[in-house]
Chain A
C-alpha cells in the first residue's frame, strides 16, 4: 500500500506534475507514511530518475529545473511533520560564480538541484572574489565549495580561490568542485580542485557521494 502510493508520488514528480505531487504527498501523510520515508523513498528516488532522463537527453534543463522546484515545494510541505533530526541537511555547500564573471544560470541550476537533493546551499551570487569564498567558509563551515565560470578569462580565478583557501588554512576542511562551459577535467585537476562537475546532475551526484563518504 505504502509502496504503491510512493510509486505514484515518484511518477508524479518524474512527470513534472506539481499538483499531483502535492496531493499525493498530502495523501502519503494522511495514510501515515513517515515523512522521512516520503523524502527518501519518494522525492530522492524521483529526483535521481529525473537526473537519469536528463543525462540521456530525454529531459532538458527546463525539465530539470521544474523537477527541482517540485522537489523543493513538497519538501517544504513535509517540514512541519519532520523531526528536528530528520530535517538535518545532507550537507552544506557554498556556491558562487567567480570574480569577473556575471553568468549564473549554471550555478543557479546546480544550487537548486543541490537543495532538491537535501543540501543546505549558501549562494554567494556572481562576481565573487576569493576573499568572499574564504569568509563564507570561515562563517558557515561547509562540506563543499562549488565554483562556476562561463568565461575563459575568468576561469583562472578558480585557482585563486583555491590558493586563498590554502592560505587561510581551510583547504583541507572542504571539498572543492568546479564547473562551467570552459572547464574541463584536466583544468580542474591542474588547479587543485577535487572534482569537475560536467553538469548539474553529475555535480550533485559527486557532492552526494562525498557527504555519504563514498569517495
Chain B
C-alpha cells in the first residue's frame, strides 16, 4: 500500500533551506512513497499570508485589514518557494518519490484571520471572506499542479465546525475549480460529522479525501453508512495517532492494521489511495515521528 504524510514534520534545522532538504531526505530514508516539503517554515495559517493582500499581522496573529486578494508576487510566496526548494532537491538527488504539497483551505484560513478581525467583511458569516480566500487557494494549487505535483487542501476547520458544511462546500468548490482531480485531495482531521463527510464527498475535482481513523472510530462508522460507496473518491487513510508523548502511546502496527482492515472491509481496497499518520507531526517529537513513519512503512508492507 502506498504511504504518505499529511504535510508537516518537526523543524529539522535553523536554516530553512537546509531544513527542507533534511525533511525530504528524512521521508525518503524512512521509505515514504509520496513525500511533502515538511512545511518547515511556519504554521499552516502564517504560511499563506504572503500570498495575499488584505491580511495584516501582529505578534498575536493575523487579521483581515482589507478585502483579500492575491499578492502580485504570489509565485514568490512562501508556499511556492518552499515547494520549489523541495522539488529541486528531489530532482537533484534523483529521488523517484512523488511530492504532495499542503495548502491551507479557505474555511480554515478565512475563519482564523476573520476571527481576529473580519475587516471589511463585517463578520465571520460573510461568505465573501471565504470565497476570496478560496480564489487564492485555487491560484496556489494551480501553480503547484502546473508542475504535475499533487495538492492537498487542508481543512481542519471543517471538522472543527467553523462553518456550516453547506457553506464550506461553496468555498471548497471555488478552491478546487479547474484543478486536476487526479492531483487533488482534501484533508480534514479528527472526528467528522456525517453532514461534513457528505459535503466533502460532493466537492468537485477532488480524487482523495484524507481522513483520520486512528483515534476517531466514529469516522469508520460513517463509512459504514454506505454513501461513500456512491462516489469515485478514494480515501487517504490516517491510521496512526501523532498526538503522543511517549512510545507507549504510539498506535501499534497491529492496531494500525486493524484500522486498515476495518476501512477496507467497508469500502474495498480499491477505494484506499494511500495510508498516512494523522496530521500534526510538526508538534510531535522527532524520535516519535521517526518511529511513527517506521511503523507506517512496516504496516504498508503487511497489508
Contacts and interface: CB of A to CB of B under 8 A. Distances in A.
Contact of B243 (A16, A57, A65, A182): A182
B60 A125 contact: yes
Interface string B160-189: 111110000000000000000000000000
Contacts, number: 55
Contacts of B60: 104, 125-126
B8 interface: no
A31 B193 CA distance: 45
Interface in B108-126: 111-112, 115, 123-125
Given A66-B123, A108-B115, A57 B163 contact: no
Given A69-B123, A153-B283, A60 B161 contact: yes
Interface in B278-302: 280, 283-285
A23 interface: no
Contacts of B143: none
B162 A60 contact: yes
Contacts of A102: 43
Contacts of B61: 104
A12 B244 CA distance: 45
Given A152-B243, A152-B245, A62 B283 contact: no
27 contacts: A57-B161, A57-B193, A57-B195, A60-B161, A60-B162, A61-B111, A61-B124, A61-B160, A61-B161, A61-B163, A62-B111, A62-B123, A62-B125, A62-B163, A62-B164, A63-B164, A65-B115, A66-B124, A104-B60, A104-B61, A105-B111, A105-B112, A125-B60, A151-B280, A152-B243, A152-B245, A152-B283
Given A62-B124, A62-B125, A65-B124, A105 B164 contact: no
Contacts of A69: 123
A209 interface: no
Contacts of B112: 105
A181 B163 contact: no
B115 A105 contact: yes
Interface of A: 16, 18, 57, 60-63, 65-66, 69, 102, 104-105, 108-109, 125-126, 151-153, 156, 181-182
B105 interface: no
Interface of B: 43, 60-61, 111-112, 115, 123-125, 160-164, 190, 193, 195, 243-245, 280, 283-285
A104 B195 CA distance: 26
Contacts of A66: 123-125
Contact of A63 (B115, B125, B193): B125
Contact of A60 (B163, B243, B245, B285): B163
Contact of B244 (A57, A125, A152): A152
Contacts of A152: 243-245, 283
B164 A60 contact: yes
Given A62-B163, A152-B283, A16 B125 contact: yes
| CB-based closest 4 A-B pairs | A152-B243, A62-B124, A60-B161, A151-B283
Nearest to A18: B123
A109 B161 CA distance: 13
A147 to B, nearest CB: 18
A182 B283 CA distance: 13
Nearest to A151: B283
